[in-house]
Amino acid sequence: MALSLREYRARIRSVESTKKITRAMELIAASRIKKAQLRAQSAAPYARELTRAVSAVATYSNVDHPLTTEPEESNRAAILVVTSDRGLAGAYSSGALKEAERLSEKLKGEGKEVDIYVSGRKGIAYFTFRRRDIVDSWAGHSDQPTYDVASEIGAALIAAFVAGSDAGERIEEGEDVPDVPAVDEVHVVYTRFRTMLVQEPCAVRLLPLEVIESEETPPPDQVLPLFEFEPSPEEVLDALLPKYVQSRVFFALLQAAASELAARQKAMKSATDNAEELIKKYTRIANQARQAGITQEISEIVGGVNALADANAASE
C-alpha cells in the first residue's frame, strides 16, 4: 500500500465529481441532439424546395452561370472545415480535421494551392497552432448554427469563387478585384450524422455546383410543367444559386452540429463509465488499505500485550 487511506478517499471524491460533470454533459448533449435533429428536419423543406427549383431551372433552360461552370484549369482550391467550438467530444473535431488534411494533401498532389476556411474554435486552434494561414473563420455557433451564419459563410465562399472565375478578365479591364484569394473550386469537410452511434467525416465539392437535373419523374398522366421564368431565367438563376449554396452550407452545419452533440454524448458516456470503474477500483483499494491498517493495529496491540506479558513473566 503505497498511499494512505486518506489519499484514496480524496481520489475517490475527485473522480466522483468528475463523474458528476461528465454525466451532466452527457445529459445536456442528449437533450440537444433532439433539438439539433429537429432543426435539421425543419430546415429540410427549404432545401427540398430550393433543390427542386434549381433543378427546374437547370432542366428547362440552358443558361450557364459562373457558379456552375467548371473552370478550364483549376490551380487553387478552398476547403471549408466544420469543427466544434468546444472539446470533450471524443475524436469529433480531429476526425474532420484529418479528413481535411487528407483532402488538402490530395489537392496539393494535383498541383493546387489550398486555402483554408474554418468554422469552429477547435479548427481555428488547430491551424493557428501549426502556423498555417486561415483565410476566414467563424466560431461560436457550432452546436446550434443559424441560417445567418450559414449565409455569411456561403457568401464568403461564393465571393472567393466568383473572384476566381472572372478575375483574369477583370484585371485586364483594370477593375479592382476584391481582396479575397480567388479560388477555382470549393470543398466542404463536415461530419455527416448517420446514426446516434455513427458519424463520419466527409468531404464534398460545393463549387462549381453540380446541378442535378430534375430527378422527379412526372406522374404518368402528366407532363413536366413548362416553367415561365420571371424576370428571366438568368436572373432567376442568379438569385437562386447563391441561396442554394448557402442552404448546402447550412445543411453541412446542421449535420455537423448533430454529429458534434452525438460524439459528445458518446464521449461523455464512456467518461462516466470510466469514472464509475475508477471509483469501484479505488473503493476496493481503499477498503484494502483500511483493512490493512486495522490488521496492523491489532497485530501491534497483540504484539505489545505479548511483549508486556513476556516482560512481566521474566521479571517475576
What residues line the site for other proteins (CB under 8 A)? Answer: 39, 42-43, 45-46, 49-50, 52-53, 56-57, 146-148, 150-152, 155-156, 158-159, 162, 222, 225-231, 235-236, 239-240, 242-243, 246-247, 250
- Candidates 211, 246, 233; CA nearest to 68 is 211
CB of 52 to other proteins, least distance (A): 7
- Candidates 231, 235, 229; CA nearest to 59 is 229
CB of 235 to other proteins, least distance (A): 6
Angle (CA) 133 134 138, round 5°: 160
Q: Is 258 helix (H, G, I), strand (E, B) or coil?
A: helix
CB within 8 Å of 5: residues ≥ 6 apart: 286, 289, 290, 293
CB of 145 to other proteins, least distance (A): 10
Q: Measured between alpha carbons, how far is residue 286 from residues 205, 271, 278, 298, 300 in Å?
A: 57, 22, 12, 18, 21
Backbone angles phi, psi at 188, to 5 degrees: -125, 130
Residue (226 or 314) nearer to other proteins, CB: 226
CB of 158 to other proteins, least distance (A): 4
CB of 190 to other proteins, least distance (A): 18
Cell for 11?
Answer: 481520489
Residue (16 or 238) nearer to other proteins, CB: 238
- Candidates 237, 233, 241, 186; CA nearest to 71 is 186
Beta bridge partners of 204: 188
Residue (235 or 297) nearer to other proteins, CB: 235
Residue (101 or 234) nearer to other proteins, CB: 234
CB of 225 to other proteins, least distance (A): 4
Residue (215 or 316) nearer to other proteins, CB: 215
Residue (111 or 225) nearer to other proteins, CB: 225
- Candidates 218, 212, 261; CA nearest to 40 is 261
